[in-house]
Amino acid sequence: MPPEASERVRAAASEGRETLPFGPAWLNIEVTQRCNLWCVMCRDPGQPTGGDLEDRALESLLPHVADARVVVLNGWGEPLVFPGFRALLARVRALAPGALVRFNTNGLLLDASLADLLADPRHPSAVALSCDGATPATYAAIRRGGDLEAALRRLDLLAALKRARGSPYPRLFVEVVLQRRNAPELPGIVDIAVRLGAEAVTVEDVRGGSFGTPLGELIADVEDHLDAYEEACRRASAAGIAVGGSGALRFARALAARRPAAPAAAGAREAPRARRFCYEPFQTAYVKQNGDVRPCCRYPAPFGNLGRDALPAIWNGERWRRLRAAMASGSPDPVCASCMASGHHVPVPHEEAAAPAPATTWAFA
C-alpha cells in the first residue's frame, strides 16, 4: 500500500511537474529474492530466483536514502534471509534517522536481537506479517514450509517487547493474499491482528506470477465469502483496525451491488466520481535485487539500472518524466490505468465499505 503523499509531492503532482527537485520519498529496496518458504501463490520448490541485493546497486543507492521518508526493505523474497539485513537497517537509520523503515515478513526468522532493534522507540519502524491463514492447516497449505504457531510466537515476542517498552514501534500490520482456501478464515486473521496490536489488515488479491499453481485454482470468488468478510470487518471495526487492499475492495463492491439503489430525488444528479490519481510516479522508487529501478512494485519494466546509471538520472529520466506527465494529464499510461482499476493503490472508499470499518488509508510519515 503506497504511503500518503507529503505536501511537496502533492504540490509537484498538482503542478504536473515532470522533473522533480527532490528524490524518492518512498524507497523500496528488494534486499533478496531468496525465501525460506514456497507459497502456492508465489513460487514452486526449486524454482530458480535471483540472489541477494547486489553490492554495486546498494552502494550506488545508499547516498540517496537520506531523502527518503520511508524505506521499505523487501521485494520478492523473505527479507530476513538476507544476511546483511541488520547491518543495512543500521546504515539506513544512520543516513536517514527520521525515516520509517518497514518490511513484510513471514516472521519465521524474526529473532530476539532483531525484535530489540525494531522496538527501539527512537527509530520509526513498521513490520507487516504475511499471514495467509488463521489455522495451522490452511497456513501450511498455502505457505508451504511454514508453521503458523512458530511465526506467531516470534511476532508475539515482538509485540510484547513493544508493549513492555511503551514504544510506538514497530507499527504492526497483517497482510493476507486472498484465496479460496483462506477466505473463510478472514475473521480469524483479524483476530490475529488484534492479538498482535496491529493497525490494519490488508487483503490483497492474488496476482499472476511465475508460479506453477494455476491462478484459477487460487482466486476466491468473493460472492462465496461475503459473510466471512463482513464478520472480519465487524471484528476489525470493534478493535479499531483498518481493513483495505484490492481484495477488500472487491468484497466492498460486491456488497454495495447487493444493496437496493435508493430512489433518486427529482432533479438529482449522480455525484461526480473523484478522478483517480496515483502519487507513486512522484514519490516512489522500487529497486530490484539486480539494481533495476522501477516506479513502483506494480510496474513491470525497469526505467534504468543502478549498475549503469545514478539514481537521480533514472528518477528524472525520460521514461519517468513521461509517466508523471501521463498521470498528471489524467490519461495514465496503460499499466497505471489497469493498476488503478484493480484497486491496489486506493483504499476501500469509506462509503462503499461493507461494514463500519475505519477509514483504510494508513500513513507512514
Residue ranges binding ligand SF4 (CB under 6 A): 278, 280-281, 295-296, 298-299, 335-336, 339-340, 345
Nearest distance from residue 187's CB to ligand SF4, in Å?
A: 29
Amino acid, single-letter form, for residue 204: E
Task: Enumerate the H helices of 52-185 as residue ranges.
Answer: 55-61, 85-95, 112-118, 136-142, 148-165
Q: Is the Cβ–Cβ distance between 175 and 104 less than 8 Å? A: yes
Instruction: Report the alpha-carbon distance of residue 153 to residue 107 in Å, rounded.
Output: 9
Pick between residue 171 and residue 298 the one whose CB is nearest to ligand SF4: 298
DSSP code, position 180: T
Amino acid at 48: P
Closer to ligand SF4 at the Cβ: 257 or 337? 337
Considering the complex, what minimum distance in angstroms separates the CB of residue 343 from ligand SF4?
Answer: 10
Q: What are the φ and ψ backbone dihedral angles of 142, each rounded to 5 degrees?
A: -90, -50
C-beta of 284: minimal distance to ligand SF4 in Å? 7
Minimum Å distance from CB 324 to ligand SF4? 9
**Minimum separation from the CB atom of position 114 to ligand SF4 (A):** 29
Q: What angle do CA 244, 247, 248 make, to 5 degrees?
A: 40
Omega cis (within 30) before 170: yes
Please, which residues have CB within 8 angstroms of residue 342's CB and are 6 or more apart in sequence? Answer: 205, 246
Of 169 and 279, CB closest to ligand SF4: 279
Closer Cβ to ligand SF4, 67 or 280, answer by number: 280
Looking at the Cβ atoms of 91 and 276, the one nearer to ligand SF4 is 276
